[in-house]
Amino acid sequence: MMELKITCIPGDGIGPEIVAEAKKVLNKVAEKYGHSMNFTDILMGGASIDACGVPLTEEAVAVAKAADAVLMGSIGGNTTTSPWYKLPPNLRPEAGLLKIRKELNLFANLRPAVLYDELAAACPLKEEISKAGFDMMIMRELTGGLYFGERRTVEENGVRKAIDTLTYDENEIRRIAIKGFDIAMKRRKKVTSVDKANVLDSSRLWRAVVEEVAKDYPEVTLEHMLVDNCAMQLVKDPAQFDVILTENMFGDILSDEASMVTGSIGMLASASLNDTKFGLYEPSGGSAPDIAGKGIANPIATILSAAMMLRYSFDLDREADAVEAAVKQVLAEGYRTIDIMPQKGETVTEEITQVGTARMGDLIAERI
Ligand code: IPM
Ligand code: MG
């Protein structure tokens, strides 16, 4: 019996809808396995801008810090039409997310990309590639690099110029590399470290430090791959990857690509961890403002993120297994949200039923 304090960040767009379903599933887990789960909501992103004028308040950070873990939906709006994007960059929704990652020291972002047998028809790759299946973990460094370096826009002799800086020190690289190798030891014991060492100094240091860390993990096979090649390999032969270890921006881009080859970004969970058991768990997808409020968003990524929370922050492996099994079962029974419906022309053998967000949450909760 565990007493757990969970801070929820429903956020913007589809965020509140998908977080509600993850809470539903967690409540079922609590009831079935005899835990107590206490949820407190905080505002972040556009919702916080509207209510408080800033994308994340200090009070909200304090509430998150006091919890055992944080479960987040998504933040942000349409970047061309939302008034939030008329604000100075440091007051926009994304600044809240970057701030909470930094404040909570969440340097390790785990983004699993798995091809579910049941969703093979949604995979956009050719069958000769997808039939090998894939199951990879993208480990993205989350609090350094280009997204946290100094930036400014200046005007020199009437010419506008923007400067972003990409910095990594060896300690930042070492701690994420250690996490990457630790995770690889629990998986298929292969690390692909992704960099741009043919051009960037930060990548050359990355490669050197990863090599040093690898010495402590003789059982793990390490390979280095340039990021442009990796982007290509993800669609050419995704089965080759186990753990992909990479810096912040490369991981941002590659994880979206990896999620797409799984068939739907609506399936991809993520965990952002510091060096304790604390973590922030969120779907890899965005706030999808175009479908917000329609009750059609896929809650599975958020539900699987809640499963990661049970596993990584609370060591409740049995409960996490139960959530993941319930998701698989619902898919096997043919239930799909619209984003993972088979496309025209695809042959599907089982009977398929299209359901909305809340029904999908109910179906998963019922199977726990
Ligand atoms: C992500 C998102 C964020 C990021 C944005 C919203 C700042 O794209 O979590 O991948 O780039 O980290
Ligand atoms: Mg991203």
* Whether residues 132 and 193 fall in one domain: yes
pLDDT digits (tens, 9 = 90+) for 92-145: 999 999 999 999 999 999 999 999 888 887 888 998 998 889 999 999 999 999
* Integer CA distances (angstroms), 208 to 109, 173, 175, 203, in order: 21, 10, 14, 9
Of 245, 266, 287, the domain-final residue: 266
Domain assignment present for residue 111? The answer is no
Domain assignment present for residue 110? The answer is no
Question: Is the pLDDT confidence value at 260 over 90?
Answer: no
What was the pLDDT predicted at 122?
Answer: 81
Question: Is the pLDDT confidence value at 11 over 90?
Answer: yes
Please tell me the total count of domains within the chain. Answer: 2
192/203 Cα distance (integer angstroms)? 14
Over residues 290-299, mean pLDDT: 96
Question: Is the pLDDT confidence value at 168 over 70?
Answer: yes
Domain assignment present for residue 61? The answer is yes
Of 216, 236, 266, the domain-final residue: 266
CB-ligand 1 contact for 97 (6 Å cutoff): yes
pLDDT digits (tens, 9 = 90+) for 50-69: 999 999 999 999 999 999 99
Query: Quick one: what percent of the chain has pLDDT higher than 90?
Result: 88
What was the pLDDT predicted at 285?
Answer: 84
pLDDT digits (tens, 9 = 90+) for 296-350: 999 999 999 999 999 999 999 999 999 999 999 999 999 999 998 887 666 666 7
pTM over 0.75: yes
What was the pLDDT predicted at 41?
Answer: 98
* Whether residues 31 and 125 fall in one domain: no
Q: Whose C-alpha lies nearest to ligand 1, atom 10?
A: 252
State in Å: Cα 216 to ligand 2 middle: 31
* Whether residues 121 and 170 fall in one domain: yes
- Structural domain containing residue 218: 117-266
What was the pLDDT predicted at 347?
Answer: 65
256 catalytically annotated: yes
* Whether residues 230 and 155 fall in one domain: yes
State in Å: Cα 72 to ligand 1 middle: 13
Of 266, 288, 311, the domain-final residue: 266
Domain assignment present for residue 163? The answer is yes
Strand, helix or coil for residue 275: coil
Domain assignment present for residue 49? The answer is yes
CB-ligand 1 contact for 195 (6 Å cutoff): no
196 catalytically annotated: yes
Domain assignment present for residue 238? The answer is yes
* Whether residues 70 and 183 fall in one domain: no
3-state secondary structure 223-241: EEEEHHHHHHHHHHCHHHC
Surrounding ion ligand 2 within 5 Å at CB are 252
Domain assignment present for residue 272? The answer is no
* Whether residues 54 and 21 fall in one domain: yes
- Radius of gyration for the chain, computed over Cα atoms and rounded to the nearest angstrom: 20
What was the pLDDT predicted at 18?
Answer: 98
Mean pLDDT for all residues in the chain: 95
Are 96 and 45 a contacting pair, CB within 8 Å? yes
